[in-house]
Structure 1
Amino acid sequence: MNIFVGSLPYSLQEADLQELFEAYGEVSTVKIIIDRESGRSKGFGFVEMPDDEAAQKAISGLNGSEISGRSIAVSQAENKKP
């Protein structure tokens, strides 16, 4: 399942995000979106988890949790329109 993670602290690294989600199960990929011009995080990213049940637990457990003083938003990512 592809998971959207928003309101991330700009200092958070992909390895930190992966560690956070691995507490709930296997993580396939982690991608924090970077601004092309500034090279800084845009404050959101995506986490892919192969086990939908573990992904749902991660969404429930992490949505609204606080990281470095910011309350993060975690939800199932919507599919891109072709």
Structure 2
Amino acid sequence: MRMTISGLPRDFDKYDLQRLFGPYGWVDYAKIFIDPITGNNSGKGMVEMKRDDQAKQAMAALQGKVLATNPLNIKEAKDRPANNR
């Protein structure tokens, strides 16, 4: 299951994200989104976990958790529709 996360501290990196979700199960993929204009951490990221039950447990446990000053907002990532050009 892929999840999008907002409200991350600006000094977070992908390893911090892996450590945050790791206690709930194996993290296959973690990414911090970078603002294309400033080149800085945007406070958003994505995590993919192999098992849906572990991902849902992580979402339930971490939703609203305050890191630094912002509460986390975690949602299941939806697949983007194919671009038919």
TM range, smaller chain: over 0.9
Tell me how far apart the structure 1 counterparts of residues 44 and 81 of structure 2 sit (CA, whole Å).
19
Tell me how far apart the structure 2 counterparts of residues 31 and 14 of structure 1 sit (CA, whole Å).
5
TM-score, structure 1 length as denominator?
A: 0.93
Deviations 1:16-52 (A, max 9, x none): 1110000100000001111223210111110000010
Q: Percent identity between the aligned chains? A: 33
Please state if 1:72 is matched with 2:72.
yes
1:13 corresponding residue in structure 2: 13
Tell me how far apart the structure 1 counterparts of residues 47 and 81 of structure 2 sit (CA, whole Å).
19
Aligned residues: 82
Tell me how far apart the structure 1 counterparts of residues 28 and 71 of structure 2 sit (CA, whole Å).
24
Tell me how far apart the structure 2 counterparts of residues 61 and 47 of structure 1 sit (CA, whole Å).
15
Root-mean-square deviation (Å): 0.9
1:38 corresponding residue in structure 2: 38
TM-score, structure 2 length as denominator?
A: 0.90
* Worse-superposed segment, 68-77 or 23-32: 68-77
User: Where does the alignment leave 5 or more consecutive residues of structure 1 unmatched?
Assistant: none
User: Where does the alignment leave 5 or more consecutive residues of structure 2 unmatched?
Assistant: none
The one-letter amino acid of 2:79's match is N
